[in-house]
Amino acid sequence: MNLLFVADPLESFKIYKDTTFAMMREAQRRGHTLSACEPKDIMWQRGGHVTAFVRDIRLTGDAQDWFEARQKKPDERPQAIKDFGCVIMRKDPPFDSEFFYSTHLLEQAEREGARVFNKPRALRDHPEKLAIMEFAQFIGPTLVTRDASDIKRFHAEHQDIILKPLDGMGGMGIFRVRADGLNLGSIIETLNKDGEQSVMVQKFLPAIAQGDKRVLVIGGKPAPFCLARIPQGNEVRGNLAAGGLGVAQALSARDREIAETVGPVLAARGLLLAGIDVIGDCITEINVTSPTCFQEIFDQTEFDVAAMFVDALEAALALPRSAV
């Protein structure tokens, strides 16, 4: 089967830790053929199908020149997306307007017969910060607002809080404000743009010292290990992109309870892969655009998350379309 990966530029991959690369490697090992494009390579014109200008690639096993492409230029080979065995949407955040438009193009490709994972509509319906609202039984005190007075009242109640933009990624734009309220006003102004943008505010969870755990749910089922991303030094953020230390560990009973409750709901909506972020006993985010940590977990535990993913992908493709 020919798999199309919609992702960031291949040349930007750090293959020693890249989850999309791990997916590709396992798919090729099983005999699937690989193609790749970026969202900017997808187009639609009246009277035609949604088309991608793709590169057909083969993984070489070389750490430096890790792929070979048949095409010299991205626009050499256009192909209707519906003609691929499936499409794996792996464009990294941010979830901006262009990502949003890409989901609409991919949804049109679905209407033409394409199989897309994660499902484009589900990507739109589950913004990664706000998706937790549906599972309030698993989250700590949380506020979403653009109003400064609401945030100040929340701080007065909870004393130690975290503020973050709804469209942030990799820990960018996250602030902690303690009981003294130092710089709260200026932080609110920075994040809410004078009331023009909404902000998420959460009670600070001291369990972050033990890590911000990425619990991977694949085909509705949790992988048996998570990656606890532990803040270093005086940093409050555990994100790997912010310098956190990734430590793989077996799921706790609470992690499993969360994953086994939330996972089937997400899977039923077409989210084949999700990354649930858990601090202590609380969900803080649900990542659906391009969840990572496959390779870190494998390197430390030898549990092959990529194999679990491709198993789930192949099983989903074997189901009738109405069941996916």
Q: Of residues 91, 164, 203, 213, which has the active-site annotation?
A: 164
287 is catalytic: yes
Co-location of 300 and 232 in the same domain = yes
183 is catalytic: no
Co-location of 179 and 247 in the same domain = no
Q: Return the ∠ at Cα 306 (arms to 303 and 312), rounded to 5°.
A: 110
Co-location of 233 and 194 in the same domain = no
pLDDT at 75: 80
pLDDT band at 320 (very low <50, low <70, confident <90, very high): low
Domain end call among 204, 220, 243: 204
Co-location of 104 and 68 in the same domain = yes
Q: Of residues 229, 239, 255, 296, which has the active-site annotation?
A: 229
- Please check the confidence at residue 228 and state whether its pLDDT lies above 90: yes
pLDDT at 261: 98
Residues 6+ apart with CB under 8 A from 4: 35, 36, 37, 52, 54, 81, 84, 86, 87, 88
In-domain check, residue 133: no
237 is catalytic: yes
Co-location of 191 and 222 in the same domain = no
Number of other residues whose CB lies within 10 A of the CB of residue 246:
21
**CATH number for the domain including 37?**
3.40.50.20
- Measured between alpha carbons, how far is residue 25 from residues 59, 197, 318 in Å? 7, 40, 21
- Average per-residue pLDDT for the chain: 94
Domain end call among 150, 177, 204: 204
CB burial of 63-100 (b: ≥16 within 10 Å; e: otherwise) equals eeebbebeeeebeeeebebbebbbbbbbbeebbeeebe
Range of the domain at 50: 2-123
**CATH number for the domain including 262?**
3.30.470.20
221 is catalytic: no
In-domain check, residue 266: yes
Residues 6+ apart with CB under 8 A from 307: 26
164 is catalytic: yes
Co-location of 157 and 67 in the same domain = no
**CATH number for the domain including 199?**
3.30.1490.20
pLDDT in tens, 94-149: 888 999 999 999 999 999 999 999 999 999 999 999 999 999 999 999 999 999 99
In-domain check, residue 135: no
Domains contained in the chain, number: 3
In-domain check, residue 78: yes
Q: Of residues 25, 90, 115, 237, which has the active-site annotation?
A: 237
In-domain check, residue 128: no
229 is catalytic: yes
Domain end call among 167, 183, 204: 204
In-domain check, residue 132: no
Q: Tell me the whole-structure pTM to 2 decimals.
A: 0.93
User: Kind of pairing, strands 245-250 and 199-203?
Assistant: unpaired
In-domain check, residue 112: yes
Co-location of 81 and 174 in the same domain = no
In-domain check, residue 178: yes
Greatest CA separation for the chain: 62
